[in-house]
Chain A
Amino acid sequence: EVQLVESGGDLVQPGGSLRLSCAASGFSISSYWIHWVRQAPGKGLVWVARINNDGSSISYADSVKGRFTVSRDNAKNTLYLQLNSLRVEDTARYFCAKGAYHLDVWGKGTTVTVSS
Protein backbone atom coordinates (compact mmCIF):
# COMPACT_ATOMS: atom_id res chain seq x y z
CA GLU A 1 0.00 0.00 0.00
CA VAL A 2 1.29 3.43 -0.93
CA GLN A 3 1.49 5.46 2.25
CA LEU A 4 3.04 8.61 3.73
CA VAL A 5 3.44 9.09 7.48
CA GLU A 6 4.48 12.41 8.99
CA SER A 7 6.04 12.84 12.41
CA GLY A 8 8.01 15.35 14.43
CA GLY A 9 5.34 17.91 15.21
CA ASP A 10 5.51 19.51 18.65
CA LEU A 11 4.94 22.61 20.74
CA VAL A 12 7.84 25.04 20.26
CA GLN A 13 8.56 28.60 21.30
CA PRO A 14 8.78 31.43 18.76
CA GLY A 15 12.24 31.48 17.24
CA GLY A 16 12.68 27.77 17.80
CA SER A 17 13.30 24.91 15.38
CA LEU A 18 11.77 21.55 14.50
CA ARG A 19 12.41 18.83 11.98
CA LEU A 20 9.43 17.10 10.47
CA SER A 21 9.73 13.69 8.81
CA CYS A 22 7.68 12.13 6.04
CA ALA A 23 8.24 8.39 5.77
CA ALA A 24 7.11 6.71 2.58
CA SER A 25 6.12 3.11 2.06
CA GLY A 26 4.93 1.24 -1.00
CA PHE A 27 6.94 3.44 -3.34
CA SER A 28 10.35 5.05 -3.62
CA ILE A 29 10.55 8.77 -2.89
CA SER A 30 13.45 8.99 -5.33
CA SER A 31 10.96 8.46 -8.16
CA TYR A 32 8.40 11.08 -7.19
CA TRP A 33 7.99 14.72 -6.35
CA ILE A 34 6.96 15.32 -2.74
CA HIS A 35 5.21 18.43 -1.45
CA TRP A 36 4.59 19.91 1.98
CA VAL A 37 1.24 21.58 2.58
CA ARG A 38 0.04 23.13 5.83
CA GLN A 39 -3.32 23.98 7.33
CA ALA A 40 -3.71 26.35 10.25
CA PRO A 41 -6.54 25.50 12.68
CA GLY A 42 -9.87 26.17 10.99
CA LYS A 43 -8.19 27.56 7.88
CA GLY A 44 -7.52 26.47 4.33
CA LEU A 45 -4.70 24.58 2.66
CA VAL A 46 -1.46 26.43 2.01
CA TRP A 47 1.30 25.04 -0.19
CA VAL A 48 4.68 25.23 1.56
CA ALA A 49 7.38 23.53 -0.49
CA ARG A 50 8.24 20.73 -2.89
CA ILE A 51 11.23 18.72 -3.96
CA ASN A 52 11.50 16.94 -7.28
CA ASN A 53 12.33 13.27 -7.69
CA ASP A 54 16.10 13.59 -7.82
CA GLY A 55 16.38 16.52 -5.40
CA SER A 56 17.78 18.85 -8.04
CA SER A 57 14.90 21.29 -7.82
CA ILE A 58 13.30 22.64 -4.65
CA SER A 59 10.72 25.41 -4.39
CA TYR A 60 9.35 27.23 -1.36
CA ALA A 61 6.47 29.55 -0.60
CA ASP A 62 7.66 33.11 0.04
CA SER A 63 6.34 32.92 3.61
CA VAL A 64 8.86 30.18 4.52
CA LYS A 65 11.75 30.88 2.16
CA GLY A 66 15.01 31.19 4.08
CA ARG A 67 13.51 29.59 7.18
CA PHE A 68 12.36 26.14 6.02
CA THR A 69 14.50 23.56 4.23
CA VAL A 70 13.42 20.40 2.44
CA SER A 71 15.78 17.44 2.26
CA ARG A 72 15.56 13.74 1.61
CA ASP A 73 17.26 10.49 2.64
CA ASN A 74 16.62 8.03 -0.17
CA ALA A 75 18.16 5.16 1.81
CA LYS A 76 15.54 5.66 4.52
CA ASN A 77 12.84 6.52 1.96
CA THR A 78 12.12 9.58 4.06
CA LEU A 79 11.69 13.27 3.37
CA TYR A 80 12.37 16.02 5.89
CA LEU A 81 11.21 19.57 6.47
CA GLN A 82 13.51 21.60 8.71
CA LEU A 83 11.64 24.48 10.29
CA ASN A 84 13.80 27.30 11.70
CA SER A 85 13.01 30.74 13.13
CA LEU A 86 9.47 29.59 13.81
CA ARG A 87 6.72 32.16 14.15
CA VAL A 88 3.29 31.98 15.78
CA GLU A 89 1.77 32.08 12.30
CA ASP A 90 3.57 28.81 11.40
CA THR A 91 1.19 26.99 13.75
CA ALA A 92 -0.54 24.40 11.57
CA ARG A 93 -0.96 20.79 10.67
CA TYR A 94 1.74 19.89 8.16
CA PHE A 95 0.98 17.33 5.46
CA CYS A 96 3.36 15.72 2.99
CA ALA A 97 1.89 14.63 -0.31
CA LYS A 98 3.12 12.86 -3.42
CA GLY A 99 2.74 14.07 -6.96
CA ALA A 100 4.50 15.82 -9.80
CA TYR A 101 1.27 17.57 -10.66
CA HIS A 102 -1.86 16.84 -8.65
CA LEU A 103 -1.26 15.42 -5.17
CA ASP A 104 -2.55 11.86 -5.26
CA VAL A 105 -1.33 10.48 -1.92
CA TRP A 106 -1.37 12.43 1.35
CA GLY A 107 -0.23 11.63 4.84
CA LYS A 108 -2.45 12.30 7.83
CA GLY A 109 -0.24 15.19 8.94
CA THR A 110 1.66 16.25 12.03
CA THR A 111 0.84 19.27 14.20
CA VAL A 112 3.25 22.14 14.87
CA THR A 113 2.27 24.64 17.53
CA VAL A 114 4.37 27.77 17.98
CA SER A 115 3.58 29.51 21.22
CA SER A 116 5.31 31.03 24.21
Chain B
Amino acid sequence: DIVMTQSPDSLAVSLGERATINCKSSQSILYRSNNKNYLAWYQQKPGQPPKVLISWASTRESGVPDRFSGSGSGTDFTLTISSLQAEDVALYYCQQHYNAPYSFGQGTQLEIK
Protein backbone atom coordinates (compact mmCIF):
# COMPACT_ATOMS: atom_id res chain seq x y z
CA ASP B 1 0.00 0.00 0.00
CA ILE B 2 1.12 3.55 -0.74
CA VAL B 3 1.64 5.75 2.31
CA MET B 4 1.19 9.49 1.90
CA THR B 5 3.03 11.75 4.36
CA GLN B 6 2.39 15.46 4.58
CA SER B 7 4.55 18.11 6.18
CA PRO B 8 4.14 20.12 8.23
CA ASP B 9 1.16 18.96 10.31
CA SER B 10 0.27 22.60 10.94
CA LEU B 11 1.35 25.89 9.48
CA ALA B 12 0.79 29.52 10.44
CA VAL B 13 1.35 32.13 7.73
CA SER B 14 0.74 35.87 7.65
CA LEU B 15 -1.93 37.26 5.34
CA GLY B 16 -0.48 37.93 1.91
CA GLU B 17 2.49 35.63 2.48
CA ARG B 18 3.27 32.31 0.77
CA ALA B 19 2.17 29.01 2.25
CA THR B 20 3.79 25.75 1.20
CA ILE B 21 2.58 22.25 2.06
CA ASN B 22 4.53 19.15 1.13
CA CYS B 23 3.33 15.63 0.38
CA LYS B 24 5.52 12.57 -0.09
CA SER B 25 4.40 9.18 -1.36
CA SER B 26 6.10 5.95 -0.31
CA GLN B 27 6.43 4.94 -3.97
CA SER B 28 6.23 6.74 -7.27
CA ILE B 29 2.74 7.71 -8.38
CA LEU B 30 3.87 8.77 -11.83
CA TYR B 31 2.29 6.55 -14.46
CA ARG B 32 4.95 6.37 -17.18
CA SER B 33 2.63 5.49 -20.04
CA ASN B 34 0.80 8.82 -19.86
CA ASN B 35 3.33 10.83 -17.83
CA LYS B 36 0.68 11.75 -15.29
CA ASN B 37 1.13 11.97 -11.54
CA TYR B 38 -1.90 10.46 -9.84
CA LEU B 39 -2.13 13.02 -7.06
CA ALA B 40 -4.85 15.41 -5.94
CA TRP B 41 -5.03 18.17 -3.33
CA TYR B 42 -8.17 18.90 -1.30
CA GLN B 43 -9.25 21.72 0.98
CA GLN B 44 -11.62 21.08 3.87
CA LYS B 45 -13.21 23.80 5.96
CA PRO B 46 -14.95 23.05 9.29
CA GLY B 47 -18.30 21.34 8.88
CA GLN B 48 -17.87 20.94 5.12
CA PRO B 49 -16.87 18.08 2.84
CA PRO B 50 -13.49 18.29 1.11
CA LYS B 51 -13.19 20.22 -2.12
CA VAL B 52 -10.71 19.28 -4.82
CA LEU B 53 -8.27 22.08 -5.64
CA ILE B 54 -5.63 20.41 -7.79
CA SER B 55 -5.72 17.22 -9.85
CA TRP B 56 -2.92 15.38 -11.66
CA ALA B 57 -0.49 17.09 -9.26
CA SER B 58 -0.61 20.45 -11.02
CA THR B 59 -3.97 21.01 -12.78
CA ARG B 60 -6.06 23.63 -11.03
CA GLU B 61 -9.77 22.74 -10.92
CA SER B 62 -12.32 25.07 -12.42
CA GLY B 63 -13.13 27.98 -10.13
CA VAL B 64 -10.10 27.54 -7.90
CA PRO B 65 -8.23 30.86 -7.44
CA ASP B 66 -4.93 31.05 -9.26
CA ARG B 67 -3.06 31.70 -6.03
CA PHE B 68 -3.27 27.91 -5.54
CA SER B 69 -0.74 25.85 -7.46
CA GLY B 70 0.57 22.31 -7.35
CA SER B 71 3.94 20.96 -8.37
CA GLY B 72 6.15 17.91 -8.12
CA SER B 73 6.52 14.51 -9.69
CA GLY B 74 7.23 10.92 -8.76
CA THR B 75 7.17 10.87 -4.97
CA ASP B 76 7.46 14.52 -3.90
CA PHE B 77 4.73 17.08 -4.30
CA THR B 78 3.95 20.61 -3.12
CA LEU B 79 0.83 22.72 -2.76
CA THR B 80 1.59 26.44 -2.77
CA ILE B 81 -0.69 29.31 -1.89
CA SER B 82 1.09 32.35 -3.27
CA SER B 83 -0.63 35.03 -1.19
CA LEU B 84 -2.61 33.75 1.78
CA GLN B 85 -6.14 35.05 2.18
CA ALA B 86 -8.30 34.75 5.29
CA GLU B 87 -10.65 32.34 3.52
CA ASP B 88 -7.79 29.90 2.94
CA VAL B 89 -7.77 28.85 6.61
CA ALA B 90 -8.58 25.16 6.33
CA LEU B 91 -7.26 21.63 6.44
CA TYR B 92 -5.42 20.49 3.32
CA TYR B 93 -5.00 16.88 2.21
CA CYS B 94 -3.15 15.17 -0.58
CA GLN B 95 -4.43 11.89 -2.01
CA GLN B 96 -2.93 9.38 -4.39
CA HIS B 97 -5.27 7.84 -6.95
CA TYR B 98 -2.58 5.62 -8.50
CA ASN B 99 -3.92 2.40 -7.02
CA ALA B 100 -6.18 1.12 -4.28
CA PRO B 101 -6.24 1.78 -1.39
CA TYR B 102 -6.39 5.42 -2.51
CA SER B 103 -4.66 6.82 0.54
CA PHE B 104 -4.75 10.36 1.89
CA GLY B 105 -2.04 12.23 3.71
CA GLN B 106 -2.70 12.96 7.39
CA GLY B 107 -3.65 16.56 6.66
CA THR B 108 -2.08 19.97 7.23
CA GLN B 109 -3.89 22.64 9.25
CA LEU B 110 -3.29 26.09 7.78
CA GLU B 111 -3.84 29.09 10.04
CA ILE B 112 -3.24 32.83 9.99
CA LYS B 113 -0.21 34.09 11.92
Distance, CA A99 to CA B38, complexed state (A)? 13
Cβ of A102 < 8 Å from any Cβ of B? Answer: yes
- Taking a contact as CB atoms under 8 Å apart, the answer to whether A47 and B52 are in contact is no
- Taking a contact as CB atoms under 8 Å apart, the answer to whether B101 and A62 are in contact is yes
Could you say which of A45, A62, A102 contacts B52, with CB atoms under 8 Å apart? A102
Instruction: Enumerate B75-113 residues with CB–CB distance to A below 8 Å.
Output: 91, 93, 95, 97, 100-107
Task: Write the nearest CB–CB distance from B54 to chain A, whole angstroms.
Answer: 8
- Taking a contact as CB atoms under 8 Å apart, the answer to whether A102 and B104 are in contact is no
Q: Is chain B's binding surface mostly helix, strand, loop or mixed?
A: loop
Could you say which of B38, B61, B102 contacts A47, with CB atoms under 8 Å apart? B102
- Taking a contact as CB atoms under 8 Å apart, the answer to whether B100 and A44 are in contact is no
Tell me which residues across on chain B come within 8 A of A37, comparing CB atoms: 50, 104
Cβ of B65 < 8 Å from any Cβ of A? Answer: no
Instruction: Enumerate B32-75 residues with CB–CB distance to A below 8 Å.
Output: 38, 40, 42, 44, 48-52, 55-56, 61
Categorize the interface residue count of chain B. 20 to 34
- Taking a contact as CB atoms under 8 Å apart, the answer to whether B40 and A101 are in contact is yes
Task: Write the nearest CB–CB distance from A24 to chain B, whole angstroms.
Answer: 15
Most buried by B among A60, A103, A106, A107: A103
Instruction: Enumerate A40-69 residues with CB–CB distance to B below 8 Å.
Output: 44-47, 50, 59-62
Q: How many residues of A contact B (CB 8 A)?
A: 22
Task: Write the nearest CB–CB distance from B43 to chain A, whole angstroms.
Answer: 11
Given A101-B38, A102-B97: A35 touches B49 (CB 8 Å cut-off): no
Considering the complex, give the chain A residue whose CB is closest to the CB of B99: A59
Distance, CA A110 to CA B106, complexed state (A)? 21
Could you say which of A59, A101, A102 contacts B100, with CB atoms under 8 Å apart? A59
Tell me which residues across on chain A come within 8 A of B104, comparing CB atoms: 37, 44-47
Which chain A residues have a beta carbon within 8 Å of chain B's beta carbons? Answer: 35, 37, 44-47, 50, 59-62, 95, 97, 99, 101-104, 106-109
